[in-house]
Amino acid sequence: MAEKIVEEMKPFFDPKAVAIIGATNKKGKVGNVIFENFKMNKERGVFKGNIYPVNPKLDEIDGYKVYHSVEELPDDTDLAVISIPAPFVPDTMRQIAKKGIKAVIIITGGFGELGEEGKKLEREILEIARENGIRVIGPNCVGVYVPDTGVDTVFLPESKMDRPESGPIAFVSQSGAFAAAMLDWAAGAGIGIGKMVSYGNKLDVDDADLMDYFIHDDSINVVTFYIEGVKDGRKFIEAAKRITKVKPVIALKSGRTEYGAKAASSHTGSLAGADTIYDAVFKQTGIIRAEDFEHMFDLAKAFAQLVHKLPKGDRIGIITDGGGAGVMASDAVAKFGLKMADLSEETVKFLKEKFPPHAVVGNPTDVVGDTDAERYRLALEAFTKDPNVDAILVIVLFQVPLLEEEKVIDIIADYQKKSDKPIVAVAMGGKKTDRYARMLEEKGVPVYPTPERGVRALAGLVRYAQYREKAKE
């Protein structure tokens, strides 16, 4: 089974040659943007495959030969991207089947989301796909984005939407617009996305197929889903149980209310179903439910860096140079069902001997506003060795005058590397703080702008670690 799903999905993420059916020289049209994406990535040396535009009315686009039909395509074509009007898609699928192409992305909308006529077209396409062993992503989607191989079917041009760099997060979205907006946001936030799949109406390739594929994708540490509805519940549950034993899955499920469910139905034709059922399924399968997109990427950022050093328990140690921030973090520990660690006698003795009298030794440990980087080093040394601490939240207010910013960044990153306990950081402030936060993240420490978001990310790590332990029993 593993070899089959990997073989089936490979052309979507790393094709030998892509046919763009509906490619055009009219700037801004969907078929032109997709062609330009592949062309630019080819010129950059990222996309290594061949590009074959298909349009019966053109002979050449930007120096590329245009094929007048699918039948004329070279035999190495293993991925077809379709952006022609919906009524013409079934006939094109028949030509694709005859040509022997096994992977198809249908960007075009106007199918099941519009009613019975569109559903009839979907059934026709699915029948052709099933009879000929073709896998289909879409319709009604923006398709696939893979920065490492240059596959980019997102029909929003780079002049209007930034693309994120590669990273260990997979992002799967039923909504194309949401997927595009999140890629743009992730690029600005410095969050790396290794693979993005927007599957729209998920006629064929669905959540379960992608979960089974990502189990075997070593470049991905954590999988995130934006879901409006699941069509085959049993298939979803079985695949979720398989992947969460290996790597974490985070789901943002919309359509929670009556109004949202109605909107989901008209958007991608999804049956949103009772929200309590999704809650139960996520809990049963170990999927972590995100409250909103901010929560989803906060969790993803933590797992991307720390999935290989999950906390062994739920006892949190807090180090801060601001008393108020420490109080907020302590409240968040209680709010998200975690425990404040009781520091060992050795830790308390060590810190009292090393710290000035006005520093506060305890949990939180407050290195106070006249701190330098050395106090953080001492606190981290004690906390990482303390058997009563399972995970550490380090709050750094970079604004304090004596703190050497780059030195404290190096110290936190050093303990992240050499300790088996996960460390997440909180940096509150403006532009200058953002710069230091980015430097810390580049060294492998996830950073959050508020204590609550930092603790909530730690809670995700703890819950997933608990699920993994339980699943082994």
Kindly give the parts of the chain with pLDDT less than 70: 1-2, 255-273
Contacts of 384 (CB under 8 A, 6+ apart): 392, 415, 418, 419, 421
Per-residue confidence (pLDDT) for residue 113, from 0 to 100: 80
Check: CB of residue 330 under 8 Å from CB of residue 402. Answer: no
pLDDT tens, residue by residue, 277-333: 888 999 999 999 999 989 999 999 999 999 999 999 999 999 999 999 999 999 999
Per-residue confidence (pLDDT) for residue 115, from 0 to 100: 82
> What is the 3-state secondary structure of 167-217?
CCEEEEECCHHHHHHHHHHHHHHCCCEEEEEECCCCCCCCHHHHHHHHHCC
Per-residue confidence (pLDDT) for residue 117, from 0 to 100: 87
The token pair at 3 is 């070899």
Per-residue confidence (pLDDT) for residue 258, from 0 to 100: 64
Per-residue confidence (pLDDT) for residue 268, from 0 to 100: 54
Dihedral of CA atoms 45, 47, 49, 51 in degrees, nearest 10, equals -100
Q: Model-level pTM?
A: 0.92
Per-residue confidence (pLDDT) for residue 265, from 0 to 100: 57
Domains in the chain with CATH codes: 309-472 (3.40.50.261)
Tell me how far apart the terminal alpha carbons of the chain are, to the nearest angstrom.
25
